[in-house]
């Protein structure tokens, strides 16, 4: 399993999501947050991000970072969209935002925004049909043609709800001439896109809060229950009727409309107008709402690219340094690579249990290579000799603390676990002791699953429940010896993780069927 964080800095609101991906279960959202900031309001009226908007967005980003940073994500991607593309003072904001988040903020193009929206909807709601996707943000509207799950065509137009409100709607309720100018502007921007697309769509999906508010208002769903409106369908004619109704209401009365929040009410007229006119331009009779969006697209993209996976593995310099030391002390490198591979699979599969940072994976991998170096000195108590060898070795690419962690893992890969009598362990920092403590059962299990030195286990699958952890040894060869050796680490595993360890043999064919 791998965890990812996504941040979407939009023209109307900023959003964050943390997802955990597994091949079996797909993406599971662990945390999500959203804050309306109206970042685009000052940009679309004055060309710059106002001090208040900047303060509000940075405060939201700081809150987001406090949520996802302790969750040990493998990779984080932060993107900014339409308002940031237009703002003259975006550079100042991007520097401050990047420092808060710990990753640079990318100002993405409208087409990249459309690609992420497509990925997000397709991941949550796959379809082989010819589908029209519509996302109406604060600064732009993305119009996407999808067929057989592939993005065929995408267009980004400056038709965001905040932008159009700032440009055209100066009165409350808007004057008829203001509405006419806005509608004419929308049609003008849509004309080139609609003209080149003569296809009939099988269905249409609207994402973003504009679509959610419109669907909820028509179906009388409260704003707090918006997630329940996922995949709900409304007719284009009903959207047109809602737009006409809202256009005649004051802001105070729009705020009383079910499904439309107090801040959304400020921009809903423009948003409803865009949604209605896009559906009409493409001759689509209805639309379904999807809660997916840019955040979901980022998470799906990170998972597909296995972003951050490199953080859990030794880099080229580190691996060369580790293998040279292993060879110098007579380690069977083929066997060591197998132990390291199993250890990495266990580290990844058990991540929700150990909750260690990705960088701990490379230290586990290094220890898997070096745990047998002590045999060069003596087979008796070789784990103690391995500790001495590693703790005094010159390991290129590792800090002194990392070398000490690797040495401690080698020391405790068998026999006793750390106790108060082990001064060399007790003297370490709390963080080091906790990291070593959590990695010990994983290293012991990985070593046991290569007991025969014949690389019988092809890979391992992990399933975590409240009471136990089931580790499947996927192999076509007999793994009785490996199971016996792995089960010997069960007591330590249960002592440290509070869950029983169960091992089972699974053929490669059966493993494929489970997936």
Q: Measure the CA–CA gap between 349 and 368, rounded to whole angstroms.
A: 17
First to last CA, the chain: 14
Q: Is residue 148 within 8 Å of 125, Cβ to Cβ?
A: no
* 131 falls within a domain: yes
Q: Is residue 500 within 8 Å of 471, Cβ to Cβ?
A: no
Six-digit token string for 226: 């918006």
The residue-averaged pLDDT of 385-411 equals: 94
Q: Is residue 469 within 8 Å of 351, Cβ to Cβ?
A: no
**Looking at the predicted structure, is the pLDDT value of residue 198 above 90?**
no
User: 77 and 133 share a domain?
Assistant: no
**pLDDT per residue over 141-191, tens digit each?**
999 999 999 999 999 999 999 999 999 999 999 999 999 999 999 999 999
**Looking at the predicted structure, is the pLDDT value of residue 2 above 90?**
no
Q: Measure the CA–CA gap between 510 and 515, rounded to whole angstroms.
A: 9
**pLDDT per residue over 201-252, tens digit each?**
999 999 989 999 999 999 999 888 888 889 999 999 999 999 999 999 999 9
* 119 falls within a domain: no
Taking alpha carbons only, the member of 37, 33, 134, 140 closest to residue 83 is 140
Q: Is residue 9 within 8 Å of 79, Cβ to Cβ?
A: yes
* 121 falls within a domain: no
CATH of the domain at 8: 3.30.420.40
Q: Measure the CA–CA gap between 447 and 413, rounded to whole angstroms.
A: 8
Q: For residue 414, what are the domain limits?
A: 314-514
Q: Measure the CA–CA gap between 309 and 306, rounded to whole angstroms.
A: 6
**pLDDT per residue over 52-65, tens digit each?**
999 999 999 999 99
DSSP secondary structure code for residue 358 in this structure? T
Please provide the average confidence, as pLDDT, over all residues in the chain: 93
**pLDDT per residue over 319-331, tens digit each?**
999 999 999 999 9
**Looking at the predicted structure, is the pLDDT value of residue 197 above 70?**
no
Query: Residue 196: what pLDDT?
Result: 63
**Looking at the predicted structure, is the pLDDT value of residue 454 above 90?**
yes
Among candidate residues 259, 283, 304, the one where a domain is terminated = 304
Among candidate residues 304, 326, 357, the one where a domain is terminated = 304
Backbone angles phi, psi at 203, to 5 degrees: -155, 170
Query: Which range in 301-310, 463-472, 485-494 is most confidently predicted, on average pLDDT?
Result: 485-494
Q: How many domains does the chain have?
A: 3
User: 229 and 133 share a domain?
Assistant: yes
User: 29 and 76 share a domain?
Assistant: yes
DSSP secondary structure code for residue 476 in this structure? S
For residue 28, CA distances in Å to 35, 67, 181 come to 21, 16, 44
User: 337 and 414 share a domain?
Assistant: yes
- Global pTM? 0.74
User: 236 and 341 share a domain?
Assistant: no
Among candidate residues 304, 335, 357, the one where a domain is terminated = 304
């Amino acid at each position: 399993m791998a965890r990812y964080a996504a941040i979407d800095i939009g023209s109307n609101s900023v959003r964050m999501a943390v997802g955990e991906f597994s091949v079996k279960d797909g993406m599971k959202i662990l945390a999500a947050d959203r804050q309306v900031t109206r970042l685009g309001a000052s940009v679309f009226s004055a060309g710059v991000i106002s001090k208040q908007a900047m303060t509000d967005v940075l405060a939201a980003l700081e809150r987001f970072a406090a949520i996802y940073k302790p969750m040990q994500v493998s990779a984080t991607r932060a993107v900014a969209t339409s308002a940031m593309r237009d703002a003259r003072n975006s550079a100042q904001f991007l520097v401050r935002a990047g420092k808060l988040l710990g990753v640079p903020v990318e100002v993405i193009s409208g087409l990249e925004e459309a690609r992420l929206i497509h990925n997000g909807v397709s991941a949550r709601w796959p379809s082989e049909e010819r589908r029209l996707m519509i996302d109406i943000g604060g600064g732009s509207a993305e119009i996407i043609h999808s067929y057989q799950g592939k993005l065929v065509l995408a267009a980004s137009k400056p038709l965001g709800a905040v932008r159009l409100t700032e440009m055209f709607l100066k009165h409350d309720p808007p004057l008829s001439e203001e509405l006419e100018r806005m509608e004419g502007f929308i049609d003008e921007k849509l004309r080139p896109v609609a003209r080149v697309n003569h296809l009939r769509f099988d269905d249409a999906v609207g994402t973003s809060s504009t679509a959610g508010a419109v669907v909820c208002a028509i179906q009388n769903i409260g704003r707090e229950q918006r997630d329940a409106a996922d995949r709900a369908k409304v007719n284009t004619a009903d959207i047109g009727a809602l737009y006409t109704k809202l256009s005649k209401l004051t802001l105070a009365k729009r705020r009383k409309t079910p499904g439309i929040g107090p801040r959304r009410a400020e921009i809903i007229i423009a948003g409803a107008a865009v949604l209605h006119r896009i559906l009409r331009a493409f001759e689509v009779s209805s639309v379904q709402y999807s809660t997916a969006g840019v955040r979901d697209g980022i998470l799906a993209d990170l998972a597909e690219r296995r972003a951050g996976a490199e953080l859990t593995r030794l880099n080229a310099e580190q691996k060369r340094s580790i293998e040279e030391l292993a060879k110098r002390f007579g380690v069977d490198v083929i066997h060591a690579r197998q132990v390291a591979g199993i250890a990495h699979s266990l580290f990844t599969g058990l991540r929700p249990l150990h909750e260690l940072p990705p960088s701990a994976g490379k230290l586990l991998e290094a220890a898997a290579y070096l745990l047998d170096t002590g045999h060069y000195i003596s087979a008796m108590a070789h784990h103690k000799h391995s500790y001495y060898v590693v703790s005094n070795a010159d390991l290129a690419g590792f800090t002194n603390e990392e070398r000490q962690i690797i040495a401690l893992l080698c020391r405790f890969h068998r026999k006793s676990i750390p106790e108060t009598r082990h001064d060399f362990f007790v003297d370490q920092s709390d963080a080091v002791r906790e990291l070593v403590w959590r990695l010990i059962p994983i290293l012991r299990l990985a070593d046991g699953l290569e007991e025969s030195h014949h690389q019988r286990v092809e890979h391992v699958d992990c399933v975590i429940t409240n009471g136990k952890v089931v580790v499947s040894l996927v192999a076509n060869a007999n793994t009785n010896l490996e199971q016996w050796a792995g089960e010997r680490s069960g007591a330590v595993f249960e002592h440290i993780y509070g869950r029983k360890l169960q091992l089972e043999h699974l053929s490669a064919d059966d493993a494929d069927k489970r997936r």
